[in-house]
Amino acid sequence: MKSDNWFSLKYSDGEVVFLDQTKLPAVEDYVHTQSYLRIAEAIKRLEIRGAPLIGIAAAYALALSVKQGYSQQLFNDSYLTLASTRPTAVNLFNCLNRMRDFCENLPENKRNFENLILEAIAIHKEDEQGCEAIAENGKKIFNSKSRVLTHCNTGKLATGGIGTAFGVILRGFEAGLVEMVFADETRPLFQGLRLTSYELSKSNIPFKVIPDSAAGVLIRDGKVDLVITGADRIASNGDSANKLGTFSLSVLCKTSGIPFYIAAPSSTIDFKAGGFEDIPIEERSSDELIQYLDPDLGFKNIDSFNPSFDVTPAENISGIITEKGFYTYPYNFS
Ligand code: MRU
């Protein structure tokens, strides 16, 4: 697993090709599709996941939905189907709205697949470039060779480029500023254990995967210099939704006096959300809590509380890094 010559999602020759992330790391299964419904299903099932990549995939899907011919009704229906896939990552809605606005600004006889796909490609390219700018803006979080802890997955599998938090770590490592990475396993779907470890291996970055609950002792014992994660939606006051467990990490950092950073493209900022109370949190099925356990254990019909995300209050965040700059508390992104 030592090659970086791989991709999570691309558009080529009239189709979208994506790596089914539910099968990683065991199987690298690339799915080819021209169907917007297949892409909507992939987003729902987390075959395609990570806030920026969800937005990019949805933009391609909206374009593909009118490949056989444009009609306003068809476009609206596909928009609504894609918008209903996942509620928290605002990149999904920002990308869909950008595609809708682009389409509405075209003369009626130009509203077609050929023009819409160009806008989706532009969205993808901008995210790729944005990742590099985030990594550049994030370099200053490393004082010397740092031991970094991260949560969930924020690299190539989650974005259109090198990643958000992962991109900062990657470029930092290449510059000799990162010693090693602790990757939270990220229960219940193991995005850290399955996906971040996959990306870290591919990039030859030394790492250890840890149970989420090990972060406390590592931080207390001075084995972590900083924590950096991504985000799925950032309110205008800086409150940041990210994978469940991020909030607890921020509290650990605060009580132990180590910095906690968020890295995300500016398309993750929701200017309509004033604070945490305006961020919808996705709840997922209890099946996902037990899906990696041996079926012979006999779990059935257990009640669960399984939110996919939590919100870290702005005051717990030492810095928010976007492609536009490095922001500190109190946050003002305008
Ligand atoms: O449920 P997921 O796997 O889509 O959750 C993803 C995360 O929480 C990531 O940390 C976030 O999207 C940042 S992606 C660069």
Tens of pLDDT, residue by residue over 178-204, are 999 999 999 999 999 999 999 999 999
Q: Are 126 and 59 in contact (CB under 8 A)?
A: no
Please give the sequence-ordered ranges of beta strands (E in DSSP) within 6-162, or none if there are none: 9-12, 15-19, 30-33, 146-150
Q: Does pTM surpass 0.85?
A: yes
Question: Are residues 267 and 329 in contact, defined by beta-carbon separation less than 8 angstroms?
Answer: no
Residue 170 in contact with residue 155, Cβ under 8 Å? yes
CB atoms within 10 A of CB 275: 14
pLDDT of residue 185: 98
Ligand 1 atom 6: the closest Cα is on which residue? 50
Distances (CA, A) of 121 to 55, 125, 269, 294: 12, 6, 21, 42
Report the pLDDT value the prediction gives residue 1, as an integer from 0 to 100.
Answer: 45
pLDDT at position 179, please? 98
Give the integer Cα–Cα distance in Å for 243 and 100.
Answer: 28
From ligand 1's centre to the CA of 254, what distance in Å? Answer: 22
Nearest CA to ligand 1 atom 13: 230
> How would residue 301 be classed by pLDDT, with cut points 50, 70 and 90?
confident
Ligand 1, pocket-test mutation among 232, 249, 279, most atoms within 8 A of CB: 232
Side chain identity, residue 222: G
pLDDT band of residue 308 (cuts 50, 70, 90) is very high
Task: State the DSSP string of 140-191.
Answer: GG-SSSEEEEE-S--STTTSSSS-SHHHHHHHHHHTT-EEEEEEE--TTTTI
Compute, in angstroms, the gap from residue 50 CA to the centroid of ligand 1. Answer: 4
How distant, in Å, are the alpha carbons of 22, 178, 218, 283, 317 from that of 184?
18, 17, 11, 20, 18
Does residue 136 have a pLDDT over 70? yes
**Nearest atom (ligand 1) to Cα of 191:** 3
Give pLDDT tens digits for 207-241. Answer: 999 999 999 999 999 999 999 999 999 999 999 99
Contact between residue 158 and residue 184 where contact means Cβ atoms under 8 Å apart: no
Write out residues with Cβ below 6 Å of ligand 1: 46, 49-52, 89, 152, 154, 158-159, 164, 191, 229-232, 242-243, 308
pLDDT level of residue 3 (50, 70, 90 thresholds):
low
* pLDDT greater than 70 at residue 274: yes
- Which of 2-6, 72-76, 212-216 shows the lowest per-residue confidence on average (mean pLDDT)? 2-6
Q: Where are the domains of the chain?
A: 9-132, 135-327
Active site residues: 232
Residues pairing with 10 in the sheet: 17
Give domain 135-327's CATH number out of 3.40.50.2000, 3.40.50.10470, 1.10.600.10, 3.40.640.10. 3.40.50.10470
Distance CA 268, CA 91 (A): 5
Q: Would you call the peptide bond into 188 cis, given omega within 30 degrees of 0 as the criterion?
A: yes
Take residue 35 and report the two structure tokens written for it. Answer: 């169907």
CATH of domain 9-132: 1.20.120.420
Query: Residue 80: what pLDDT?
Result: 98
The answer, yes or no, to whether residue 2 has pLDDT greater than 60, is no
**Start-to-end CA span in the chain (Å):** 42
Residue 143 confidence class, pLDDT cut points 50, 70, 90: confident
